[in-house]
Amino acid sequence: MIRTPLALIPYFLAIAAVLAGLLWHAGDSLPGARRLETVGEANIGGSFTLIDQDGKIRRSADFRGRFMLVYFGYTYCPDVCPTSLAVMADALDKLTDADRVVPVFITIDPARDTPSVLKAYLKAFGPRFVGLTGNAGAIDSAARIYRVFYRKHRLSAGVYAMDHSSQIYLMGPDGKFIANYDKTLGPDGLAAALQARL
């Protein structure tokens, strides 16, 4: 039976994928081969003044001397936000010196996320968390200095969701950016990454 050229396309694609993988791994041993390396200081983070879940004014300077693990999200988020916060909480439970790290949740939905709403929501993730809200301008300013994208996404009948980037930021005791992580790292991976930095 003679195969038509169209029927051979999946085989060619599979062979190409295998060859690409082999070249990728062989590249490390080739003379002069280099991996991309980033140097310099990322311009992420800075001064903010917001309100915590107890109604107290909190400034970025209040956290100096401790690491901050910062996540931007909102309490009405159906999946990504609670998953990310759970990863953070579980990772901190695995650290031997978790008291050196303050997990901070900054809302991008201040219209709905009042201090009392944040307080009730964060109880599910443990007493370590600091929840921060404020007026729209203060939230926008904090999101901008952390390079966080967010946008209201209107649904039906006046209901809305918030589209947003989803990164976990590690800030040093001096308030400067150290690293960012993704929830896909999982609690064990995040705990190992944090322990290496503490």
Does 7 reside within a domain? no
Does 77 reside within a domain? yes
Does 36 reside within a domain? no
Does 135 reside within a domain? yes
Per-residue pLDDT of 26-56, as tens digits, reads: 444 444 444 333 444 678 888 899 999 999 9
Q: Note down the domain range covering 82.
A: 49-197
Using CA atoms, how far apart are residues 157 and 191, in angstroms rounded to an integer? 42
Residue 104, pLDDT score: 96
Residue with tokens 């209901």: 159
Per-residue pLDDT of 69-89, as tens digits, reads: 999 999 998 888 899 999 999
Using CA atoms, how far apart are residues 198 and 98, in angstroms rounded to an integer? 9
As a whole number, the mean pLDDT across the chain is 81
- Maximum Cα–Cα distance across the chain: 78
Burial class (CB in 10 A: 0-12, 13-18, 19+), 129: buried
The CATH number linked to 115 is: 3.40.30.10
Banded model confidence at residue 124, pLDDT cuts 50, 70, 90 = very high
Using CA atoms, how far apart are residues 81 and 179, in angstroms rounded to an integer? 19
Does 127 reside within a domain? yes
Buried b (16+ CB within 10 A) or exposed e, 25-63: eeeeeeeeeeeeeeeeeeebbeebebbbbeeeebebeeb
Range among 9-13, 102-106, 192-196 rated most confident: 102-106
Does 125 reside within a domain? yes
Q: Based on the structure, what is the number of domains in the chain?
A: 1
- The whole-model pTM stands at 0.76
Does 85 reside within a domain? yes
Residue from 52, 79, 68, 53 nearest 162 by CA? 79
